[in-house]
């Protein structure tokens, strides 16, 4: 064999190896709801980096934040149909299809992170089973801080909300707002500043994280740290896309998801106080639930818990019983 021919064959072998490696690499887009500065998006970016490292670059996940690919209402369907292999969504917005998905939005059921974690552990298997039937695999969750109330004017009792135009973001918060005597209006988190500015809404219930993301001090004056409930975002993947991955990559994704969930819950705990303080530092009046409002809120919580149990049936009761252990 001549020297030139040997070099040619060696070069061709290297080229084939390079093409084979490039072909083996998988590129996934991930649609995330929140802006880059939000800690839930930051956890997603760390998850993507973790996966890339663990798979030696064989699976590369590109994060598209702030719902630029798909809005909240369209995300689950997009993952299910493979329009995007991976995405995160506020799980309680799926409550319209099954009450199990909105258990974390029932007021006063889980108001601290320990209780919220127990509720998640109790409900996760049932959520996974429902999503699996639809061709979706659930990977991990990240909680929001406890939900509080933002208003333009001070409130002292529940009757102060009567007729007030109040932002809701899912069926559960719409029902909560109705029971408070206010008028619910569905507004996506990214549209909150404009909705306040145009008078579409006058108040909202959401986390201090969303308050900071939207710079709530520009349009609201008061924040009441009601700690009504702790909702979660969940990250889901198209089951077929996941199954096509090599076994080693599947294991790497699941391990990275486990680490992301642990980190997400830790960050949520540590960030809550800091985010609430940020509201105060920017001029908002931050305080606890008004005393006269507490028993009224408790009654609303009891009503919504009863309504949820009627919808969720025996499986819902099993979740609550397990969470209380």
Its pTM stands at 0.90
Domain contains 12: no
Is the domain of 156 the same as that of 211? yes
Is the domain of 115 the same as that of 212? no
pLDDT at 55 over 90: yes
- pLDDT on residue 25: 83
Contacts of 6 (CB under 8 A, 6+ apart): none
If pLDDT is split at 50, 70 and 90, which confidence band does 2 have? low
pLDDT at 109 over 80: yes
Q: What is the pLDDT of residues 208-263, one digit of tens each?
A: 999 999 999 999 999 999 999 999 999 999 999 999 999 999 999 999 999 999 99
Is the domain of 36 the same as that of 98? yes
If pLDDT is split at 50, 70 and 90, which confidence band does 175 have? very high
Query: How many C-beta atoms surround the C-beta of residue 82 within 10 A?
Result: 12
More confident position, 101 or 16: 101
- Residue written as token pair 């919580």: 301
Is the domain of 87 the same as that of 196? no
Query: How many C-beta atoms surround the C-beta of residue 104 within 10 A?
Result: 23
pLDDT at 9 over 90: no
Is the domain of 97 the same as that of 240? yes
pLDDT at 90 over 60: yes
Is the domain of 238 the same as that of 95? yes
Nearest residue to 201 (alpha-carbon basis) of 158, 168, 244: 168
- pLDDT on residue 1: 52
- pLDDT on residue 252: 98
Percent of the chain residues past pLDDT 90, beyond the cut: 91
Domain contains 2: no
Is the domain of 79 the same as that of 130? yes
Is the domain of 237 the same as that of 97? yes
- pLDDT on residue 176: 97
Q: Whole domain around residue 184: which residue ranges? A: 148-227+290-324
- pLDDT on residue 14: 46
Chain mean pLDDT for the chain: 93
3-state helix, strand, coil in the chain (%, to 5): 60, 15, 25
Number of domains forming the structure of the chain: 2
Give CA angle at 196 (191, 198), nearest 5°: 95
Is the domain of 168 the same as that of 32? no
For the record, the structure tokens of 92 come out as 């309680």
Least confident of 22-26, 54-58, 303-307: 22-26
Domain contains 21: no
For the record, the structure tokens of 114 come out as 């320990």
pLDDT at 97 over 70: yes
pLDDT at 12 over 70: no
If pLDDT is split at 50, 70 and 90, which confidence band does 16 have? very low
Residue 63 maps to which CATH number? 3.40.190.170
């Amino acid at each position: 064999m001549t020297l030139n021919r040997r070099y040619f064959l060696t070069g061709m072998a290297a080229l084939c190896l390079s093409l084979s490696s490039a072909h083996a690499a998988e590129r996934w887009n991930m649609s995330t709801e929140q802006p880059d500065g939000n800690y839930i998006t930051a956890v997603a970016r760390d998850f993507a980096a973790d996966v890339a490292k663990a798979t030696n670059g064989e699976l590369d996940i590109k994060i598209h934040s702030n719902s630029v690919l798909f809005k909240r209402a369209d995300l689950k369907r997009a993952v299910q149909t493979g329009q995007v292999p991976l995405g995160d969504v506020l799980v309680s917005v799926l409550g319209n299809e099954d009450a199990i998905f909105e258990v974390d939005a029932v007021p006063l059921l889980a108001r601290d992170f320990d209780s919220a974690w127990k509720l998640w552990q109790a409900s996760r298997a049932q959520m996974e089973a429902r999503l699996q039937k639809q061709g979706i695999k659930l990977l991990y969750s990240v909680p929001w801080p406890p939900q509080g109330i933002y208003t333009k004017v001070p409130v002292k009792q529940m009757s102060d909300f009567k007729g007030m135009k109040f932002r809701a973001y899912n069926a559960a918060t719409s029902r909560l707002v109705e029971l408070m005597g206010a008028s619910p209006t569905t507004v996506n988190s990214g549209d909150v500043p404009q909705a306040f500015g145009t008078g579409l809404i006058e108040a909202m219930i959401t986390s201090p994280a969303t308050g900071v993301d939207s710079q709530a001090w520009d349009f609201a004056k008061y924040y009441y740290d009601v700690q009504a409930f702790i909702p979660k975002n969940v990250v889901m993947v198209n089951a077929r896309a996941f199954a096509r991955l090599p076994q080693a990559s599947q294991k790497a994704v699941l391990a990275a998801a486990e680490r992301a969930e642990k980190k997400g819950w830790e960050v949520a705990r540590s960030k809550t106080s800091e985010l609430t303080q940020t509201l105060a530092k920017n001029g908002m009046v931050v305080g606890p639930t008004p005393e006269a409002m507490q028993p009224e809120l408790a009654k609303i919580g009891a009503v919504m818990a009863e309504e949820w149990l009627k919808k969720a049936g025996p499986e819902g009761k099993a979740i609550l019983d397990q969470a209380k252990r």
